[in-house]
């Protein structure tokens, strides 16, 4: 019964969200048409959607989007791996934990965009540079999450693991990784949002190397040609991708893990 209730509540929430979005779309369309502002400054939604579909079907936008998503996946992967290494090292040695804590505290407040000049100096303006910015924006918050996650695993589970003589590898896979999962997902949500922003910011500053560029580069180009519709189309796409990841990918991930285990609701 509880599940059915949750399901209905979930559906209702989704329905409400769609209604709100439709309402906002309507306001956009109407205000653009009725206000008399030049479409060059504020195009109506219908025109923006038209551009979006044209560019999507022409293949330029899917290519840009794919490029961005691949870079972000790599950055997230590297960030997760690095954060796991830092978190586990801190777990194994309290001296290292102090050091890692301090490094995270220093690096965490630095916006990726502020690092850009240095990154350009070190790595040029290509893909590596974008990747570095993404890793920077994912690594520190995720390390904080993982460290917190390791600390919240109940002491009894560690005792049980010692009791049954788990080897280090078994301890990682049967205890620590599933144990930190609620915190990991929170960290990954933050990391995803940050890296998505960092990526677009970096691309808009660097432009593209060798004709390759992502969604940020798409927006940058549209600005150069004063293609306002295209500018809005880019923004719309960024929002759509963000919502899709948030509601589908992360929610699905939670449903098959921490909500099934009852370690998070």
Partner 1 sequence: MSPFPPIEARGIDLKYGSGKTVFTSLDLILRNGEFLAVVGPSGCGKTSLLKILGGFLQPSAGYVNRNGSRINSPSPEAVMIFQEFDQLFPWKRVWENTAFPLKAGGKSGLSGLDESEKQRRVEEILREVGLFDYRSYFPHQLSGGMKQRAALARALVSRPPVLLMDEPFGSLDAQKREELQSLLLRMWREHDFSVVFVTHDITEALLLADRILVMESAVFGGNFTLMDLELPRPRDVRSEDFNRCYNQVFSKLGSEDPGQS
What is the binding site for partner 1 (CB under 8 A)? 154, 156-157, 159-167, 170, 174-175, 178, 181, 257, 260-263
Residue closer to partner 1, measured from CB, 33 or 174: 174
Q: How far apart are CA 7 and CA 9, in angstroms?
A: 5
Q: How far is the CB of 52 from partner 1 (least distance, A)?
A: 42
Q: How far apart are CA 179 and CA 112, in angstroms?
A: 30
Q: How far is the CB of 261 from partner 1 (least distance, A)?
A: 4
Shortest CA distance to 29 belongs to which of 19, 43, 41? 43
Residue closer to partner 1, measured from CB, 174 or 223: 174
Q: How far is the CB of 247 from partner 1 (least distance, A)?
A: 24
DSSP string across 41-106: TS--HHHHHHHHHHHHHHTHHHHHHHHHHHHHHHHHHHHHHHHHHHHHHHHH-HHHHHHHHHHHHH
Residue closer to partner 1, measured from CB, 54 or 257: 257
Cβ atoms of residues 102 and 158 within 8 Å? no
Cβ atoms of residues 137 and 202 within 8 Å? no
Residue closer to partner 1, measured from CB, 170 or 247: 170
Shortest CA distance to 215 belongs to which of 28, 31, 70, 79? 70
- Number of Cβ within 10 Å of residue 46's Cβ equals 12
Residue closer to partner 1, measured from CB, 125 or 263: 263
Q: How far apart are CA 204 and CA 66, in angstroms?
A: 16
Q: How far is the CB of 153 from partner 1 (least distance, A)?
A: 10
Q: How far is the CB of 177 from partner 1 (least distance, A)?
A: 9
Cβ atoms of residues 79 and 131 within 8 Å? no
Q: How far is the CB of 82 from partner 1 (least distance, A)?
A: 24
Q: How far is the CB of 182 from partner 1 (least distance, A)?
A: 10
Cβ atoms of residues 228 and 40 within 8 Å? yes
Residue closer to partner 1, measured from CB, 36 or 262: 262
Residue closer to partner 1, measured from CB, 18 or 256: 256
């Amino acid at each position: 019964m509880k599940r059915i209730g949750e399901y209905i509540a979930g559906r209702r929430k989704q329905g409400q969200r769609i209604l709100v979005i439709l309402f906002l779309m309507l306001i956009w369309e109407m205000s653009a048409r009725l206000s008399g502002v030049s479409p060059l400054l504020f195009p109506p939604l219908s025109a923006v959607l038209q551009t979006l579909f044209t560019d999507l079907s022409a293949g330029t936008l899917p290519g840009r989007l794919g490029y961005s998503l691949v870079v972000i996946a790599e950055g997230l992967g590297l960030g997760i791996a690095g954060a796991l290494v830092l978190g586990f090292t801190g777990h194994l040695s309290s001296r290292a934990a102090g050091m890692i804590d301090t490094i995270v505290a220093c690096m965490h407040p630095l916006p990726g965009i502020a690092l850009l000049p240095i990154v350009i100096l070190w790595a040029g303006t290509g893909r590596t540079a974008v990747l570095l910015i993404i890793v920077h924006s994912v690594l520190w918050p995720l390390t904080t999450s993982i460290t917190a996650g390791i600390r919240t695993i109940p002491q009894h589970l560690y005792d049980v693991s010692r009791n049954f003589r788990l080897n280090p590898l078994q301890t990682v896979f049967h205890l620590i990784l599933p144990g930190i999962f609620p915190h990991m997902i929170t960290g990954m949500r933050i990391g995803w949002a940050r890296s998505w922003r960092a990526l677009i910011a970096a691309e808009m500053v660097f432009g593209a190397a060798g004709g390759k560029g992502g969604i940020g580069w798409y927006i940058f180009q549209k600005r150069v040609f004063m293609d306002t519709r295209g500018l809005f189309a880019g923004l719309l796409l960024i929002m759509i991708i963000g919502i899709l990841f948030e509601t589908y990918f992360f929610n699905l991930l939670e449903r098959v893990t921490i909500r099934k285990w009852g370690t998070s609701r």
